[in-house]
Amino acid sequence: MSDKKLTILAIGGHVGDAELTAGGVLASHSLKGDRIVTLALTPGERGVPAGQDMGEYKAQKIREAHAFAEMLGGEAIVFDDNADGELPDDQDIRFRVADVIRRVKADVLITHWKNSMHKDHMTTHRIVNDARFFAGLASFQRELPAYFASKLYYAENWEDAVDYRPYVYVDFDQEAFDLWVRAVSQHWFVTGSKSFPYLEYYKHLARVRGIEARKQYAETFMIPEETMRLRQTSLWF
């Protein structure tokens, strides 16, 4: 295995999406010395608690994004000019995401699966796929030189369940699990939401996927369909 330190860029439609769905793997890679960057294409402010000002909650969400990333020794980026539920599906935001990929030199991208009950998640999926193409294209001239993210994964999310099936299992240990739980608990909606028990669900899901993988904990991912090939030189492996 290569000793190269990876940069993993996890991109969600809202603050908290990537942190919940891929946070255990992000924590594990952080503990191994890899660089973790999160990018939220909107703050996710429309999940505002009853009675709280939405502008105040937006600022809180941004602080929560930075708190999570800092606990993993990483960096958080939030496109706070995009409103939750109104994520634009245009070239400009694709170029902005491509610029982030180039700036951080992302080796691995993690984002949403293509189907979702939330329009921002589906839009994010399309944006990231196209941004990866633009970022890696040398003839696409921007401020920074081209950089191709070699790996692209789609995280398991209860809101993105249609046609999703676990394909890649990435396991992690108790230390990474505990770090992830502490970090993701910085997000109010994870521990305080009355609409869905987010922390309980994802903690149990990590254990279930770990059992399936014959490990302690795991998170699962899909990959682009064109890369779904298992290569081997014999029928015995």
In this prediction, residue 61 carries a pLDDT of: 98
Taking 70 as the threshold, does the pLDDT of residue 13 lie above it? yes
Taking 90 as the threshold, does the pLDDT of residue 2 lie above it? no
Give residue 123's identity as a one-letter amino acid code.
T
**Ramachandran angles phi, psi of 96, nearest 5°:** -65, -45
DSSP state of 9: E
In this prediction, residue 3 carries a pLDDT of: 77
Q: Mean pLDDT across the stretch 137-156?
A: 97
Written as six digits, the tokens of 158 are 């209860």
pLDDT band at residue 235 using 50, 70 and 90 as cut-offs: confident
pLDDT in tens, 213-231: 999 999 999 999 999 988 8
Taking 50 as the threshold, does the pLDDT of residue 6 lie above it? yes
In this prediction, residue 1 carries a pLDDT of: 47
Please give the Cα distance from 106 to 104 (Å, whole number): 5
First to last CA, the chain: 19
Please give the Cα distance from 227 to 145 (Å, whole number): 25
Distance of CA 57 to the CA centre of its chain: 21
In this prediction, residue 237 carries a pLDDT of: 59
CB 197 within 8 A of CB 143: no
pLDDT in tens, 75-132: 999 999 999 999 999 999 999 999 999 999 999 999 999 999 999 999 999 999 999 9
In this prediction, residue 4 carries a pLDDT of: 85
Average pLDDT, rounded, for the chain: 96
**Ramachandran angles phi, psi of 144, nearest 5°:** -110, 155
In percent, how much of the chain has pLDDT > 70?
99
The structural domains of the chain, ordered by start, are 7-225 (3.40.50.10320)
pLDDT in tens, 34-66: 999 999 999 999 999 999 999 999 999 999 999
Of 4-8, 198-202, 219-223, 227-231, the range with the lowest mean pLDDT is 227-231
Q: Mean pLDDT across the stretch 170-183?
A: 98
